[in-house]
Chain A
Amino acid sequence: MNTPPAGTTVRFALLIALAVGVTVLVYLLVMPPGMLFNHSAQIRCQVSSGLYIGDQDISPFQVERIDANAQRFRECMGQYLPLRLPWLAGGLFGLGGLAALIYFSLPCWRIRRFGLARLDLSPELAEELDGLVERAGLRRAPVFLVDPVNPNCGGVAFGTRRRPYVCLDAGLVTRFRWDPAYFRVVVLHELAHLRNNDVPITYLTIAVWRSFLVVGLAPFLAALLDPWLTSSTPFTSPFPLWAGGYLLDISTVLIQVLALVLVVLLSRNAVLRSREYHADDRVASWLGREEPGEVLASVRGSKRWWGRLVGKHPVPSKRISAVAEPVRLLRPGFWEAAAAGVAIQVAWRTVVLALTNIGQSGSFALGLLGTVWGAGAAAVVLFAGARFAAFRAGGGSVRVLLLTPLGITLGLWVGQYIGAFSSLPGLTLLELAVLVVLVLVLAALMWWVAHCADLIRELDRPRARVIAWVAVTGTIFSFCASGLSWMSAPSITGGALINTLGPLGVASERLVDSARWTVLDDALNSVLGAPFLHLFMGAPLVTIPLVLGWAIPLLLRRNEPLRPAVRAGVIGAAAWLVVELVLRGAAAASVSDALRVSDGFRWVLVLWENSALILVQFVVVVVLTMRGLRAVTALFGAAVTGLSAVLVLWAIRSVEGCFPSLVVFSGGCLQPVSPSVPAIGLGLVVVAGVFALPIALLLGRLLARGVSVPGSGGRVFPLVVAGIVVVLLALYRPSDGPGPVEEVTAAERGVPLAENDQALRTWATGGGAGHVLALMRHSEEYRESLRRKDSRAYLQACSELVAASGQAAKFPAPPGGTSSRLWATALEEYSAAGTICRDAMTGADTRPDRLEVSRARLHNATELLLTFGLPLVQR
Chain B
Amino acid sequence: MDEVTTLARGVVEACAPEELPFFAAASAAYFRDPRRALAGRKRSDEVLGSGLDTAVALLSPVALAVAAAVYEAGARDEDDVRAVVARRAAELGLAPNQVELVADAVLVSLSRNE
Q: Are B47 and A312 in contact (CB under 8 A)?
A: yes
Given A120-B20, A120-B24, A178-B18, CB of A150 within 8 Å of CB of B52: no
Q: Are A122 and B20 in contact (CB under 8 A)?
A: yes
Across-interface contacts of B46 in A (CB, < 8 A): 154, 156, 312
Question: Is A443 located at the chain interface by the 8 A CB criterion?
Answer: no
Question: Is B114 located at the chain interface by the 8 A CB criterion?
Answer: no
**A309 CB to nearest chain B CB (Å):** 12
Q: Are A148 and B52 in contact (CB under 8 A)?
A: no
In the complex, A152→B46 CA distance in Å?
A: 12
Using CB atoms, name the residue of chain B closest to A174.
B18
Question: Is A241 located at the chain interface by the 8 A CB criterion?
Answer: no
Q: Are A154 and B22 in contact (CB under 8 A)?
A: no
Question: Binary interface profile of B, 27-60, with partner A (CB < 8 Å = 1, else 0)?
Answer: 0111010001110110101111111111111101
Instruction: From the candidates B16, B45, B56, name the one contacting A313 in the complex (CB within 8 A).
Output: B45
Q: Are B36 and A186 in contact (CB under 8 A)?
A: no
Q: Which of A164-207 contact B (CB under 8 A)?
A: 170-171, 173-178, 186, 189-190, 193, 198-199, 202-203, 206
Using CB atoms, name the residue of chain A closest to B42.
A152
Q: Are B53 and A302 in contact (CB under 8 A)?
A: yes
Q: Are B48 and A119 in contact (CB under 8 A)?
A: no
Instruction: From the candidates A116, A121, A198, A203, name the one contacting B21 in the complex (CB within 8 A).
Output: A121
Using CB atoms, name the residue of chain A closest to B33.
A115
Q: Are A148 and B22 in contact (CB under 8 A)?
A: yes
In the complex, A649→B3 CA distance in Å?
A: 101
Q: Are A272 and B50 in contact (CB under 8 A)?
A: no
In the complex, A158→B48 CA distance in Å?
A: 7
**A175 CB to nearest chain B CB (Å):** 7
Interface centre among B38, B46, B48, B60 (most CB of A within 10 A): B48
In the complex, A121→B23 CA distance in Å?
A: 11
In the complex, A441→B62 CA distance in Å?
A: 65
Question: Binary interface profile of A, 628-648, with partner B (CB < 8 Å = 1, else 0)?
Answer: 000000000000000000000
Q: Are A170 and B57 in contact (CB under 8 A)?
A: no
Question: Is B104 located at the chain interface by the 8 A CB criterion?
Answer: no
**A632 CB to nearest chain B CB (Å):** 44
Q: Are A275 and B48 in contact (CB under 8 A)?
A: yes
Question: Is B10 located at the chain interface by the 8 A CB criterion?
Answer: no
Q: Which of A265-317 contact B (CB under 8 A)?
A: 272, 275-276, 295-296, 298-302, 307, 311-314, 316
In the complex, A189→B36 CA distance in Å?
A: 28
Using CB atoms, name the residue of chain B closest to A171.
B56
Across-interface contacts of B55 in A (CB, < 8 A): 151-153, 171
In the complex, A298→B40 CA distance in Å?
A: 22
Q: Are B45 and A173 in contact (CB under 8 A)?
A: no
Using CB atoms, name the residue of chain B closest to A313.
B51
Across-interface contacts of B29 in A (CB, < 8 A): 115, 148-149
Given A152-B55, A154-B43, A312-B51, CB of A146 within 8 Å of CB of B25: yes
Instruction: From the candidates A117, A170, A186, name the one contacting B60 in the complex (CB within 8 A).
Output: A170
Question: Binary interface profile of B, 59-97, with partner A (CB < 8 Å = 1, else 0)?
Answer: 011000000000000000000000000000000000000
Given A115-B25, A115-B32, A312-B45, CB of A186 within 8 Å of CB of B50: yes
In the complex, A153→B57 CA distance in Å?
A: 10
Instruction: From the candidates A118, A151, A298, A301, name the one contacting B58 in the complex (CB within 8 A).
Output: A151
In the complex, A314→B51 CA distance in Å?
A: 8
Q: Are B52 and A206 in contact (CB under 8 A)?
A: no
Q: Are B54 and A170 in contact (CB under 8 A)?
A: no
Instruction: From the candidates A115, A120, A146, A186, name the one contacting B52 in the complex (CB within 8 A).
Output: A186
Using CB atoms, name the residue of chain B closest to A311.
B45
Given A117-B28, A202-B47, A312-B46, CB of A150 within 8 Å of CB of B21: no
**A690 CB to nearest chain B CB (Å):** 45
**B21 CB to nearest chain A CB (Å):** 5
Instruction: From the candidates A120, A157, A186, name the one contacting B48 in the complex (CB within 8 A).
Output: A157
In the complex, A418→B62 CA distance in Å?
A: 52
Given A120-B20, A149-B41, A312-B45, CB of A154 within 8 Å of CB of B52: yes
Using CB atoms, name the residue of chain A closest to B45.
A312
Number of A interface residues at 8 Å Cβ cutoff, please give it: 57
Question: Is B100 located at the chain interface by the 8 A CB criterion?
Answer: no
Q: Are A152 and B20 in contact (CB under 8 A)?
A: no
Question: Is B13 located at the chain interface by the 8 A CB criterion?
Answer: no
Across-interface contacts of A116 in B (CB, < 8 A): 25
Q: Are A299 and B60 in contact (CB under 8 A)?
A: no
Using CB atoms, name the residue of chain A closest to B29.
A115
Interface centre among B16, B20, B22, B25 (most CB of A within 10 A): B22
Given A149-B40, A149-B41, A312-B45, CB of A154 within 8 Å of CB of B50: yes
Using CB atoms, name the residue of chain A closest to B49.
A156
Question: Is A531 located at the chain interface by the 8 A CB criterion?
Answer: no
Across-interface contacts of A275 in B (CB, < 8 A): 48
Using CB atoms, name the residue of chain A closest to B41.
A150
Across-interface contacts of B28 in A (CB, < 8 A): 115, 117, 148
Given A149-B37, A151-B57, A170-B58, CB of A120 within 8 Å of CB of B51: no
Question: Is B99 located at the chain interface by the 8 A CB criterion?
Answer: no
In the complex, A120→B20 CA distance in Å?
A: 8
In the complex, A29→B51 CA distance in Å?
A: 41
Q: Are B19 and A173 in contact (CB under 8 A)?
A: yes
Question: Is B26 located at the chain interface by the 8 A CB criterion?
Answer: yes
In the complex, A551→B61 CA distance in Å?
A: 69
Using CB atoms, name the residue of chain B closest to A279.
B48
Interface centre among A148, A199, A203, A276 (most CB of B within 10 A): A148
In the complex, A151→B39 CA distance in Å?
A: 10
Across-interface contacts of B53 in A (CB, < 8 A): 152, 299-302
Q: Are A152 and B24 in contact (CB under 8 A)?
A: no
Q: Are A153 and B22 in contact (CB under 8 A)?
A: no
Q: Are B54 and A171 in contact (CB under 8 A)?
A: yes
Instruction: From the candidates A121, A146, A152, A193, name the one contacting B41 in the complex (CB within 8 A).
Output: A152
Across-interface contacts of B16 in A (CB, < 8 A): 174
Across-interface contacts of A437 in B (CB, < 8 A): none
Across-interface contacts of A147 in B (CB, < 8 A): 41
Instruction: From the candidates B18, B43, B51, B58, name the one contacting A276 in the complex (CB within 8 A).
Output: B51
Given A115-B25, A151-B40, CB of A174 within 8 Å of CB of B19: yes
Q: Are A299 and B47 in contact (CB under 8 A)?
A: no
Question: Is A248 located at the chain interface by the 8 A CB criterion?
Answer: no
In the complex, A193→B22 CA distance in Å?
A: 24
Instruction: From the candidates A122, A146, A206, A295, name the one contacting B47 in the complex (CB within 8 A).
Output: A206
In the complex, A177→B61 CA distance in Å?
A: 19
Given A151-B41, A155-B50, A276-B51, CB of A175 within 8 Å of CB of B56: yes
Across-interface contacts of B41 in A (CB, < 8 A): 114, 147, 149-152
Given A149-B37, A272-B47, A312-B46, CB of A299 within 8 Å of CB of B54: yes
Instruction: From the candidates B17, B21, B32, B52, name the one contacting A299 in the complex (CB within 8 A).
Output: B52
Across-interface contacts of A301 in B (CB, < 8 A): 53
In the complex, A295→B47 CA distance in Å?
A: 20
Question: Is A125 located at the chain interface by the 8 A CB criterion?
Answer: yes
In the complex, A148→B12 CA distance in Å?
A: 14
- 29 pairs across A/B with beta carbons < 8 Å? A115-B28, A115-B29, A117-B22, A117-B24, A117-B25, A120-B21, A146-B22, A148-B60, A149-B37, A149-B38, A149-B58, A149-B60, A151-B41, A153-B52, A154-B50, A156-B50, A170-B22, A170-B26, A170-B58, A171-B54, A173-B21, A178-B18, A202-B48, A275-B48, A300-B53, A312-B46, A313-B45, A313-B49, A313-B51
Known: A146-B22, A150-B40, A178-B18. 8 other contacts (CB 8 A): A117-B28, A118-B25, A149-B61, A170-B58, A170-B60, A174-B18, A174-B19, A190-B50
Which 7 A-B residue pairings sit nearest by Cβ, starting from the closest?
A313-B51, A117-B25, A148-B25, A148-B26, A154-B50, A177-B18, A156-B49
